[in-house]
């Protein structure tokens, strides 16, 4: 999932470079959402992993 977030950020940067503001904003928004979902899932996985060991 982190890979897809990075891909959308790269798409946003390329779109902004060529002047496509709407596409860049949309891709950046999707990238932000994917990164937040990744971060939440990573933290939950870490916490549940610690709980299962104890």
Q: Work out how many domains the chain is built from and give that number.
A: 1
pTM of the model as a whole: 0.77
CA quadruple 33, 35, 36, 41: dihedral, nearest 10: 120
* Domain carrying residue 16: 2-53
Q: Quick check: 18 and 9 in contact, CB under 8 A?
A: no
Per-residue pLDDT of the chain (54 residues; tens, 9 = 90+): 789 888 989 999 999 999 998 989 999 999 999 999 999 999 999 999 999 987
């Amino acid at each position: 999932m982190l890979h897809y977030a990075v891909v959308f950020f790269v798409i946003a940067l390329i779109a902004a470079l060529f002047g496509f503001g709407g596409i860049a904003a949309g891709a950046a928004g999707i990238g932000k959402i994917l990164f937040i979902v990744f971060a939440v899932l990573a933290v939950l996985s870490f916490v549940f992993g610690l709980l299962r060991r104890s």
